[in-house]
Amino acid sequence: MKSDNVTKGPDRAPHRSLFYAAGFTEEELKKPLIGVISAYSEIIPGHTHLDKIAQAVKAGVYAAGGTPVLLPAIGVCDGIAMGHEGMRYSLPSRELIADSVETLANGHCFDGLVLIPNCDKIVPGMVMGALRVNVPSIVISGGPMLAGHVNGDHSCLSDMFVAVGAFKGGKINEQQLTEIEEACCPSCGSCSGMYTANSMNCLCEAIGIALPGNGCIPAVYSARTALAKHAGMKVMDLVKNDVKPRDIINLDSLKNAITVDMALGCSTNSALHLPAIAHEAGVKLDLHLFNEISEKTPNLCHLAPAGHTFMEQLNRAGGVAAVMKELCDAGLLNPDTPTVTGKTTGENVKNAFNLDTSIIRPIDNPYSRTGGLAFLFGNIAKKGCVVKRSAVLPEMLKHTCKARVFHGEEAAVAAIYGGDIKPGDVVVILYEGPKGGPGMREMLVPTSALVGMGLDSTVALITDGRFSGASAGAAIGHVSPEAAMGGEIGLIRDGDIIDIDMDAYSIHAHVSEEEFAARRAEQVMPEPNVKSGWLSRYARLVAGADEGAVLK
């Protein structure tokens, strides 16, 4: 056992004395040591209950004959960080989380890990760290928030951001804004639509690193606590059988995850996190692979922001397992990939059943014949960019527009709220990429402003930054190479005509290579937004969005 390095033999007497100082007993030190890494905090609504989840995990580990050791992890609430300088820290925090998992696990010689994230960057960060350490590991997330209720309709956080735009546009009054504010987020848990947190929690099921139910069982349900106990028990089987993350996460399981991503209509941020997870597993994910899988994978779900259904409804309809069963029956998933249950993917879902075809469309009646995400390529995105196609209005799938260029989110938001953006424009936001931001801020405020002011059917948005999973509309992000890396997106000027064809996976500016060369010769890069602290180090080391914004 790896823990023998800190618990066995006369040479490790000093180490044991420190365990005793922490309250462990001799009997406990004779059992496998399991690191229970919890991102509990009082600032992230998706994490405020993770102390209860951690206690359930510990009970499961004890019941199965192990010794659990509770450890902390950080996290950033993307909603609270949205729209200001704090958002620069969100995506980079993924690397800190991966580093901390690696540090805690290797520094203390744990035999296994139970990872307890719930929101956005915390989920992939923990999985990335587990792949580096490569000891038996399992993910048990905190589960989704319940949907809110406003005027008899379901609501969620994205409705809140849209409501701000509606208020600015004079469509609702301050009292109505307050009513939505107080009702849209009614419980703990990850925000209730198919946003980044829930996307990654669902994809942990699809990739095989979490138990069935991980993605959809609501945070407040007792079934979530029971699942946490089972995760604690199951990690002991993984330790006994020496099943490690790299035994589970490989190209085949990643292809399964991308397929489920397309069927569910997951967040565009999955296009950052799956390549980053693959990187830690020693697998290269080319963005063209996403389009290849999208071409043959129908979109079966329209959860918010693409539609008006929510995670609790997906759970009642059969959850991720029911979606995977539809895909398996159609031959779109590899059923033989291993999972943390000890069974294959096909065995896990063979008894799943679609209980509500209005929530999970059958394969022969999808929302669209292709997947929820599309990766566009062209002369201003030579290494690609991404859009959540399933959340785009039909009239915006193919669109010709005139560029309005802004350096940074704030200038764009001011123009939108100031009424300066007109139908037929495309808002182009530059220097918000992984390096230029730095940190690749989410653009939920400008996208919600466009929706709230009724411009989402006539105005697109393109950025080298990224979007919240709650963003809707013709929001095209992750443009690579980014402006700060010399990408052509940084050479776009006001008035340039841009053609967007999401069905053809194309984005093209009416600018010749000769004109781009002339503009490049005159280009003056702006001063870095951040010149000190660890974000300046991040900016020096980070790769492009097309590579998952990993550090190199």
Rounded Cα–Cα distance for residues 34 and 235 (Å):
8
Q: Is the pLDDT of residue 429 over 90?
A: yes
CB 44, CB 406: distance < 8 Å? no
Distance in angstroms (rounded) separating the CA atoms of residues 7 and 123: 30
Check whether 11 has a pLDDT greater than 90: yes
14-49 tens-digit pLDDT: 999 999 999 999 999 999 999 999 999 999 999 999
Give the pLDDT band (50/70/90) at residue 471.
confident
Tokens encoding 116: 């307890």
Q: What is the DSSP string of 235-281?
A: HHHHHHHT--HHHH-SHHHHHHHHHHHHHHT--TTHHHHHHHHHHHT
Q: Which of 528, 549, 533 is nearest to 431 (CA)?
A: 528
pLDDT at 153: 86
Give 140's pLDDT tier (boundaries 50, 70, 90).
Answer: very high
Specify the 3-state DSSP secondary structure of 532. coil
Express each pLDDT in 80-100 by its tens digit: 998 899 999 999 999 999 999
| Residue 375, strand partner residues | 386
- What does the pLDDT read at residue 266? 95
Residue 190: closest CA among 320, 78, 37: 78
Burial category of 49 from C-beta neighbours within 10 Å (exposed 0-12, middle 13-18, buried 19 and up): buried
* pLDDT of residue 469 exceeding 80: no
Give the pLDDT of residue 159. Answer: 87
Q: Give the per-residue pLDDT at 162.
A: 84
With 90 as the cut, is the pLDDT of residue 451 above it? no
For residue 381, how far is the Cα from the chain centroid? Answer: 22
Question: In 3D, which of 503, 489, 483, 488 has the Cα closest to residue 440?
Answer: 483
SS3 378: strand
Q: Stretch 255-264: mean pLDDT, rounded?
A: 98
Helices of type H across 475-547: 513-522, 534-541
- pLDDT score recorded for residue 208: 98
Q: Mean pLDDT for the chain?
A: 96
CA angle 429, 460, 526 (to 5 degrees): 10
Give the confidence band of 320 by pLDDT, cuts at 50, 70, 90: very high
Instruction: Write the CB contacts of 300 (distance below 8 Å, at least 6 apart in sequence).
Output: 263, 264, 323, 326, 360, 361, 362, 363, 366, 367
pLDDT at 152: 84
* Tokens linked to 354: 């679609």
CA contacts within 13 A on the Cβ side of 318:
23
Which pLDDT band holds residue 106 (cuts at 50, 70, 90)? very high
Task: Express each pLDDT in 186-233 by its tens digit.
Answer: 999 999 999 999 999 999 999 999 999 999 999 999 999 999 999 999
CA–CA gap between residue 229 and residue 533 (Å, rounded): 40
- DSSP string of 14-41, one letter each residue: HHHHHHHHTT--HHHHTSPEEEEEE---
Alpha helices in 390-435 (DSSP H): 409-417
Provide the pLDDT for residue 186. 95
Torsional class of 493: left (φ above 0), alpha (ψ -120 to 50), beta (otherwise): beta
Return all residues near 483 (Cβ < 8 A) that are at least 6 apart: 430, 431, 433, 436, 464, 489, 490
- Is the pLDDT reported for residue 59 higher than 90? yes
Digit-coded pLDDT (tens) for 494-546: 999 999 999 999 999 999 999 999 999 999 999 999 999 999 999 999 999 99
d(CA 429, CA 416): 12
Q: Give one word for 189, left, alpha or beta, with left for phi > 0 and alpha for psi -120 to 50.
A: left
Residues 166-191, mean pLDDT to the nearest whole number: 93
Active site residue 468: yes
Which whole number is the average pLDDT over 413-425?
95
- Residue 470 — pLDDT band, cuts 50, 70, 90? confident
CA distance 330 to 153: 34
Q: Peptide bond before 366: cis, by omega within 30 degrees of 0?
A: no
* Structure confidence by residue, pLDDT tens digits, 147-172: 999 888 888 888 888 888 889 889 99
Cα Rg of the chain (Å, integer): 23
Per-residue model confidence (pLDDT) at position 472: 80
Answer yes or no: is pLDDT of 439 > 90.
Answer: yes
Please give the average per-residue pLDDT across 477-495, as a whole number.
97
Positive or negative, the Cα torsion across 410, 412, 415, 419?
negative
Which of 41, 93, 187, 468 is flagged as catalytic?
Answer: 468
**What is residue 448's predicted lDDT score, i.e. its pLDDT?**
86
